[in-house]
Amino acid sequence: MRDPGTVYLKNSCEQFRHIKQRAEAAIEQLNEEEFHWVPNEQSNSVSVLLQHISGNMHSRWVDFLTADGEKDYRDRDAEFINQFCSKKELMERWESGWSLLFQTLEGLSPGLLLQEVTIRKERLTIMEAIQRELAHLHNHLGQILYIGKQLKGSEWKTLSIPKGQSRSFIPAAIKNKAGEEQSDSTS
């Protein structure tokens, strides 16, 4: 029987990799100008989202087990001010943040999942902290995808099932099984 904690950690890493891959596939479609485009004063550009995500990961995952996840050196407010860094530079920061996250998660043992850590002086189990980060990054992934789709319009290369093509993405095994069930019911 598989250990639930091991399954949880493996699945969490897979989810984080999926978020990273989809965000990078979206970012790759944007040129430098689009990368820095801001929809309005109250919104963020993809570049600002990357500044924030990178800052968040560097704060959360350095000394994850022993220090508050909101580090004294972090200036969260500055993460939301466009620093006009190049796409290349921000992608390097992005990679560094993800490396910290994966290094930390891959170093955790399942027995630690109910141990508590601190984020902004709030006590959370490690499992809760992981869930919180997954939710946070999924939120920003959605923003990145929405901005990319808005900017690229018909040039956008979809990262999921294209509109109107769901049936063609149903795995063959499911189609075959459904076909067998229909022929059984008509016999």
Give residue 161's pLDDT.
Answer: 80
Q: Look at the chain and report how many structural domains it folds into.
A: 1
Cα–Cα distance measured from residue 164 to residue 141, given in angstroms and rounded to the nearest whole number = 23
DSSP one-letter code for 63: T
The tens-digit pLDDT sequence of the chain (187 residues) is 689 999 999 999 999 999 999 999 999 999 999 999 999 999 999 999 999 999 999 999 999 999 999 999 999 999 999 887 899 999 999 999 999 999 999 999 999 999 999 999 999 999 999 999 999 999 999 999 999 999 999 999 998 888 888 888 777 557 666 565 555 555 5
Cβ atoms 49, 141 nearer than 8 A: no
Strands in 58-163 per DSSP E: 116-119, 122-125
Cβ atoms 119, 132 nearer than 8 A: yes
In a domain, 176, yes or no: no
- Give the domain CATH number at 66: 1.20.120.450
Strands in the chain per DSSP E: 116-119, 122-125
In a domain, 116, yes or no: yes
In which domain, by residue range, is 61 found?
A: 4-161
Residue with tokens 């250990």: 3
In a domain, 186, yes or no: no
In a domain, 87, yes or no: yes
- Region label for 120, one of left (φ > 0), alpha (ψ between -120 and 50) or beta (otherwise): left
Crossing angle for the helix pair 126-152 and 46-61, nearest 10 degrees? 170
In a domain, 170, yes or no: no
In a domain, 45, yes or no: yes
Give residue 1's pLDDT.
Answer: 67
In a domain, 30, yes or no: yes
Cβ atoms 114, 125 nearer than 8 A: yes
- Classify 156 as helix, strand or coil: coil
Q: What angle do CA 35, 36, 41 make, to 5 degrees?
A: 135
Based on DSSP, count helices (H) and strands (E) in the chain, helices before strands: 7, 2
Cβ atoms 53, 137 nearer than 8 A: yes
In a domain, 174, yes or no: no
